Amino acid sequence: MKKICILTDCTADLTKELYEKNEIEVLPLYVTIGGITYSDGIDITTEEMYEKVKEFGELPRSSAIPPAIFEEKFKKILQNYEQVIYMGIGSGFSGTYNNAILASQEFPQGKVFIVDSKNLSSGIGLLLLKAAKFRDQGLDGAEIKAKIEEIVPRVKTQFAIDTLEYLHKGGRCSGTTKIFGTLLKIKPIIRVEEGAMQVAKKPMGKFSRALNIILDYVYHDLENIDPEFIMVTHSLSGVAAEYFKEELKKTKHFTNIYETRASGVISTHCGPKTIGILYIVNK
């Protein structure tokens, strides 16, 4: 019997190759639009979701993984593993974390470990890669949970938003008010702070100004950034992603620069062309 299975949800926004390489299992959250509910990343892609927004003239609604699904998944995993660690979308963004906690209580102590990432998108992905590394070093579930919880506050997540429609109507960003909807030239910079999204800056004009502000965060933190992994994550913003990757390569600081795509659930709340850079600082 294998020792530890690492489980996440689709909002971690890693690539299929990274999930497979690091032996991480993934559960979908759900997206509802046009009266139909889809399993994100299985029944619908981000591109298809945006097409349905145009078709139905409404924004999608996302929903959490219910406790029963977690309980079923944990039970199945524990047939082949001694322990399971689940870490997905942070408790401040979805009821998924609390549902995982409820499901974990149906199992003996020391079998199921739930970690609050207090993050979203590849901010979770960075933590998962660290968890996989600790697992491969032979740590048990309790030790991995403790180590990851020490890293959680050091994850830096920042995105530039091109359109305000999704962010505003989703109601997921404190500090974002209806006034943003009228100021169409504002391209807000969103950062995750203490488990919640906050508007950090409000550059106006071309989107390139917002992109350069994101890079300024990286340059400011550069000497303190863990060089092992850095993420460029976006929702249909490939040109900007290439720009970011080229600029990050110039620093010669990073061992791995990964480009990943935002899931449908994440894209539901940020909209097309959203792009961010995510990393871990050492202290």
Choice between 168 and 78, residue whose per-residue pLDDT is larger? 78
- Kindly list the distances between the CA atom of residue 145 and the CA atoms of 79, 130, 235, in Å, as whole numbers in the listed order: 21, 11, 30
Interval 113-138: pLDDT, tens: 999 999 999 999 999 999 999 999 99
Question: Are 3 and 82 contacting, i.e. CB atoms less than 8 angstroms apart?
Answer: yes
Query: Highest-confidence range of 159-168, 198-207, 246-255, by mean pLDDT?
Result: 246-255
Instruction: For residues 26 and 179, give the distance between their C-alpha atoms in angstroms, rounded to a whole number.
Output: 38
Q: What is the pLDDT of residue 186?
A: 84
Question: Are 20 and 132 contacting, i.e. CB atoms less than 8 angstroms apart?
Answer: no
Q: What is the pLDDT of residue 168?
A: 63
Can you read off the two tokens belonging to residue 31? 């997206």
What is the percentage of the chain residues whose pLDDT exceeds 70?
A: 93
Interval 178-193: pLDDT, tens: 444 445 578 889 999 9
Domain ranges of the chain: 2-31+63-151, 154-281
Interval 52-100: pLDDT, tens: 999 998 889 999 999 999 999 999 999 999 999 999 999 999 999 999 9
Question: Are 157 and 192 contacting, i.e. CB atoms less than 8 angstroms apart?
Answer: yes
Question: Are 217 and 158 contacting, i.e. CB atoms less than 8 angstroms apart?
Answer: yes
Instruction: For residues 205 and 201, give the distance between their C-alpha atoms in angstroms, rounded to a whole number.
Output: 13
CATH 3.30.1180.10 fits 154-281, yes or no: yes
Average pLDDT of the residues in 254-279 = 96
Q: What is the pLDDT of residue 167?
A: 65
Can you read off the two tokens belonging to residue 108? 């003996």
> In the predicted model, is pLDDT for residue 5 greater than 80?
yes
Helix (H) or strand (E) run with residue 148 in it: helix 141-151
Residue 155, phi then psi, degrees to nearest 5: -80, 130
- Kindly list the distances between the CA atom of residue 132 and the CA atoms of 50, 90, 123, in Å, as whole numbers in the listed order: 33, 19, 15
What is the percentage of the chain residues whose pLDDT exceeds 90?
A: 84
Q: What is the pLDDT of residue 78?
A: 98
Length of the chain: 283
Average pLDDT of the residues in 11-25 = 98
CATH architecture of the domain covering 2-31+63-151: 3-Layer(aba) Sandwich (3.40)
Quote the mean pLDDT of the chain. 93
Average pLDDT of the residues in 49-53 = 95
Q: What is the pLDDT of residue 176?
A: 45
Q: What is the pLDDT of residue 115?
A: 98
Average pLDDT of the residues in 241-266 = 98
Interval 23-41: pLDDT, tens: 999 999 999 999 999 999 9
Helical pair 141-151 and 122-136, crossing angle rounded to 10 deg:
140
> In the predicted model, is pLDDT for residue 2 greater than 90?
no
Instruction: For residues 59 and 166, give the distance between their C-alpha atoms in angstroms, rounded to a whole number.
Output: 7
Going by pLDDT thresholds of 50, 70 and 90, the confidence category of residue 241 is: very high
Does the pTM surpass 0.85? The reply is: yes
- Kindly list the distances between the CA atom of residue 224 and the CA atoms of 93, 252, 280, in Å, as whole numbers in the listed order: 27, 14, 9
Close Cβ partners of 101 (under 8 Å, ≥ 6 residues apart) = 114
Name which of 77, 103, 68, 70 is nearest 24 in CA terms.
77
Strands (E), the chain: 2-9, 24-27, 30-33, 36-39, 61-63, 81-88, 112-116, 155-160, 173-174, 189-193, 196-201, 225-234, 257-261, 275-281
Secondary structure (3-state) at 67: helix
